[in-house]
Amino acid sequence: MTQLPVTITDVRAAADRLRGAANRTPVVTSRTFNGLTGRQVFFKCENLQRAGAFKFRGAYNRLAQLSAAEKQRGVVAFSSGNHAQGVALAAQLLGIPTTIVMPDDAPPVKLAATRGYGATVVLNNRQTTSREQIARQLADERGLTLVPPFDDAQIIAGQGTAALELLEEIPDLDALVVPVGGGGLISGCAIAAKGVRAKIAVYGVEPEGADDARQSLATGTIVHIAPPATIADGVRTQAIGTLTFAIMRELLSEIVLVSDAEILDAVRFVLTRMKLVVEPTGAVPIAAVMVNRIPRKLKRVGVIVSGGNIGAELLGAIMR
Amino acid sequence: MTQLPVTITDVRAAADRLRGAANRTPVVTSRTFNGLTGRQVFFKCENLQRAGAFKFRGAYNRLAQLSAAEKQRGVVAFSSGNHAQGVALAAQLLGIPTTIVMPDDAPPVKLAATRGYGATVVLNNRQTTSREQIARQLADERGLTLVPPFDDAQIIAGQGTAALELLEEIPDLDALVVPVGGGGLISGCAIAAKGVRAKIAVYGVEPEGADDARQSLATGTIVHIAPPATIADGVRTQAIGTLTFAIMRELLSEIVLVSDAEILDAVRFVLTRMKLVVEPTGAVPIAAVMVNRIPRKLKRVGVIVSGGNIGAELLGAIMR
């Protein structure tokens, strides 16, 4: 096996750093879901994580390791979604000044939440400028540390703590099913899961039309796709990273796809039957298990429910 | 102290019976909620219980103790809500034939859910006949055992297991806050909580306009009220029971009231910020803590979130 850029030791060290800062989220089960799918499924509820998604784990692990000087100068990140809030909250807890570059058409509630964690929000017009470019410029000009959303060893190690906790609680899983955007979550989780249970099978799930990771693993090179139109806004990334690609091609069994309709069915099932609010991205792996995209012989299945930050409008629409 | 009709020993025995049958529901916390209220609040999530509410605990404890002959003849219950589903599921698991008397204007989804657990549903017209009367008649004619919704020692002991689990996990609570309908849940929980931690203060919460229990404790006699109009459909009972009255007057610190607007605010907060679906009745004690109806000196507070069976229409309306 190739030497990977992140090891189980890194994930364990991240778990130590996160203790007391991150929620140890509950693992829930549903006999109805089990009956429906003919499996025993264990949902790791990162929708109940601080700031509503797993992103806080990686951000906190990254920021906690900055030098005193770096902490004093501050950090910058670009994101319209959960990464923004994860970084802002982690920085607030660690007393680090934060700037987040967000699109000027982001939902007001997300802007307010990010500011609520004490971050300075810089708005950009997505038609005319690149958020990433602005963030890099701010980093250069002001000496800020750029916190990347996924392609970073410390971010990856932090995200892996979700799977580490799940496996501590349910050690004898046959498979782990994880949504794939940039690949930070699944890379960390695969390292953690394989690190404590070598024979576990790890499956990634992407929405149809956002299958850049599947294409990349199939072709053996990182494939860039056009901006995908899926409802799962957390996995609309156009390309996975260099580190995450290296880890995913080594550790994943397969990447499977689900449709937006299947994703929404899963959101609705979890909301009405399991009484949990999950965002479409969090429902991506749930949908894959519901419609049996994972081999039937895998009976004990862990699912990383990545987040719960769904807009009120969409939730209302789903209920109608 | 008067000899009460249910003891901590009964609750412990119920916990043994429920092991493997009921979910050991998670206890969740929210730093946002804590910041808002200046307390440390621990939510016992009975919305994640089987059939979506604590009712399964009492029903299963009651039904498991029937004789072989009683089990064979079957049981009957009357309910339009969570008790119906709790009894139906418990009976299904124990292989007991069940008849549930439900109003003919009950939501189709609740009729379907009850039938889904294998129960025979008998419909009654609430304008012309009493559900309780029909249930009693069926019990008499067919030798069925009537499973009362709350005023029964075994039902009460079963409901108490929710508080027993909470105190096992968080032993040093100052207070426990519980919704009050017929009083089965709060009676069992008060016995469990006081049984393992004598100095804990137990608060009941009722909606304004459904304050029959508060009036009963104030006057020292069971007060019957007109059918209450609160949105919290699980606590629309018109009078508490004889057993539950005896327990409540002995063990409760106070019963406090919340408005329907406060209840809906709590449902909305828990849904959007804590990513949990709770029904209005489950949000009744949450509302009381949110608006500080409980003395401020009580810092570590347990809340029994009784259930999550909220209709899609109401959920949609709350989101708009």
Domain ranges for chain A, please list them. Answer: 8-53+152-319, 56-146
Task: Provide mean pLDDT across the span B140-168.
Answer: 97
Query: Which residues, in sequence order, are bridge partners of residue B307?
Result: B53
Could you tell me which CATH number the domain at B56-146 has? 3.40.50.1100
Domain B8-53+152-319 has CATH 3.40.50.1100: yes
Listed by number, the residues of chain B in 215-254 with a beta carbon closer than 8 Å to a beta carbon of chain A are none
The verdict on a CB contact (< 8 Å) between A276 and B272 is no
Q: How far apart are CA B305 and CA B139, in angstroms?
A: 32
Q: Do A277 and B278 touch (CB under 8 A)?
A: no
- Model pLDDT, residue A104: 87
Checking if the pLDDT of A187 tops 80, the result is yes
> B315 touching A, CB under 8 A?
yes
In the block, residue with structure tokens 């069994």: A253
- Distance linking the first and last C-alpha atoms of chain B: 50
* pTM of the predicted protein model: 0.93
Residue A139, helix vs strand vs coil: helix
Catalytic positions of B are 55, 306
Determine whether the interchain pair B275/A26 forms a contact, defined as Cβ–Cβ distance below 8 Å: no
Residue position matching structure tokens 């100052």 = B174
Q: Is pLDDT of A50 > 80?
A: yes
Place of tokens 């799930």: A205
A28 to B31: CB separation less than 8 angstroms, yes or no: no
- For the segment B146-168, the average pLDDT, to the nearest whole number, is 98
Q: How many CA atoms lie within 13 A of B72 on its CB side?
A: 3
Q: Which residue of A has its CA nearest to B45?
A: A275
- Average pLDDT over all residues of chain A: 95
User: Is the pLDDT confidence value at B79 over 80?
Assistant: yes
Residue of B nearest to A278 (CA): B275
Do B56-146 and B8-53+152-319 fall under one CATH topology?
yes
Cα A57–chain centre separation:
10
Planar angle of CA B269, B275, B276, nearest 5 degrees:
85
Residues with Cβ < 8 Å from A156, sequence gap 6 or more? A5, A6, A58, A150, A184, A187, A188, A191, A243, A244, A247
| Residue B114: HSE in the Cβ half-sphere, 13 Å Cα cutoff | 28
Task: Give the residue numbers of A annotated as catalytic, written as ranges.
Answer: 55, 306
**CA gap A255, A41 in Å, rounded:** 19
Residues 51-70, chain A: which have Cβ within 8 Å of B? 52
- pLDDT of residue A172 exceeding 70, the answer is yes
Q: pLDDT grade, residue B109 (50/70/90)? A: confident
Residues 260-279 of chain A with CB under 8 A from chain B are 271-272, 274-278
pLDDT digits (tens, 9 = 90+) for B49-74: 999 999 999 999 999 999 999 999 99
Please, which residues 18-37 of chain A have a Cβ atom closer than 8 Å to chain B?
A: 23, 26, 28-29, 31
Among the partner-chain residues B52, B272, B312, the one whose CB lies closest to the CB of A319 is: B312
Check: CB of residue A104 under 8 Å from CB of residue A125. yes
What is the predicted ipTM? 0.90
**Interval B278-284 mean pLDDT:** 97
Neighbours of A158 (CB within 10 A): 36
Backbone dihedral angles phi then psi of residue A38, each to the nearest 5 degrees: 70, 25
Backbone φ, ψ for residue A240 (5° rounding)? -80, 175
Cβ contact A28–B50 (<8 Å)? no
A127: which 2 tokens? 């038609």
B41 vs B302: CA distance, rounded Å: 6
Interatomic CA distance for residues B210 and B223, integer angstroms:
11
- Per-chain mean pLDDT for chain B: 95
pLDDT digits (tens, 9 = 90+) for B126-149: 778 888 899 999 999 999 999 999
| Chain A residues in contact with B53 (beta carbon < 8 A) | none
Contact A319 B319 (CB under 8 A): yes
- The band of A1, judged by pLDDT with boundaries at 50, 70 and 90, is low
pLDDT tens string A280-298: 999 999 999 999 999 999 9
CB contact under 8 A, A316 and B320: yes
Query: Is A313's Cβ below 8 Å from some Cβ in B?
Result: yes
Give every strand in the sheet of B27-28, ordered side by side. Answer: B27-28, B40-45, B300-305, B175-179, B201-207, B254-258
